[in-house]
Chains A and B, each alone.
Chain A
Amino acid sequence: DADVTQTPRNRITKTGKRIMLECSQTKGHDRMYWYRQDPGLGLRLIYYSFDVKDINKGEISDGYSVSRQAQAKFSLSLESAIPNQTALYFCATSGGTGGGPAETQYFGPGTRLLVL
């Protein structure tokens, strides 16, 4: 089984709808991240969480919110979806280094979101 899973894998929604993307991990990592990927722009950080009680905005958080329900679960919500939120969304985790200076990130398979 995959260590980092995302649901749904594909989603089509309409402008103005609220949707939630979910991420679960079995790696026991404290740190979790949400990214979006757009053609020609690369990956950009939306939100990140260093533990259940610590949630931080990334570089493009406007229009998004998150919830860290447990160490293993980190959800991303689009409160009112708009077409320019059409993108590929990735969840990632890192940890297990005892707070070392750098950590490998492990990515989920991604969610393709289309907002009409």
Chain B
Amino acid sequence: KNEVEQSPQNLTAQEGEFITINCSYSVGISALHWLQQHPGGGIVSLFMLSSGKKKHGRLIATINIQEKHSSLHITASHPRDSAVYICAAERGSNYKLTFGKGTLLTVNP
């Protein structure tokens, strides 16, 4: 079993829909990261969180430490949100990340 599991693997939505991507991890963490990989391949960090909730524009990330679970929400989805979304667990104090396999999101107009 992978230390970091994401669901779903693929997600297709219509523009305007509310999107939820889930991430479960099996190890203790110092932080949980959400990243976005554009169709061209580039990877950018969206959030780093260790508790509670963070919001940036239409993106919201939440984490439940007791349940070892995090969610990434996208409100009012748009075709430009189409990308692969990756969660990664940072363990202890060594800054190393263990990645989930990613969720491919396609938002249709």
Q: Which residues from chain A sit less than 8 Å from chain B, CB to CB?
A: 31, 40-45, 48, 50, 58, 88, 90, 94, 101-107, 109-110, 112
Kindly identify which residue among B30, B42, B96 contacts A109, using a CB–CB cutoff of 8 Å.
B42
Interface size class of B (residues with CB under 8 A): 20 to 34
Assess whether B102 is in contact with A88, with CB atoms less than 8 Å apart.
Answer: no
Q: Does B69 contact A (CB under 8 A)?
A: no
The CA of A31 and the CA of B90, in the complex, are separated in Å by 14
B98 to chain A, nearest CB (A): 8
Given contacts A43-B86, A107-B44, A109-B42, contact A102 B96 (CB under 8 A): no
Interface class of chain A by DSSP:
strand
Q: Does B93 contact A (CB under 8 A)?
A: yes
A112's nearest neighbour on chain B, judged by CB, is B41
Assess whether A42 is in contact with B101, with CB atoms less than 8 Å apart.
Answer: yes
The CA of A43 and the CA of B88, in the complex, are separated in Å by 9
Assess whether A41 is in contact with B101, with CB atoms less than 8 Å apart.
Answer: yes
Assess whether B42 is in contact with A42, with CB atoms less than 8 Å apart.
Answer: no
The CA of A94 and the CA of B30, in the complex, are separated in Å by 15
Given contacts A42-B101, A102-B90, contact A107 B42 (CB under 8 A): yes
Q: A107 — which chain B residues lie within 8 A by C-beta? A: 35, 42-45
Assess whether B95 is in contact with A103, with CB atoms less than 8 Å apart.
Answer: yes
Assess whether A45 is in contact with B43, with CB atoms less than 8 Å apart.
Answer: no
Given contacts A42-B86, A42-B102, A43-B86, contact A105 B97 (CB under 8 A): yes
Q: B45 — which chain A residues lie within 8 A by C-beta? A: 104-107
Which residues of B, 70-109, contact A by the 8 Å Cβ criterion?
A: 86, 88, 90, 93, 95-97, 99-102
B91 to chain A, nearest CB (A): 10
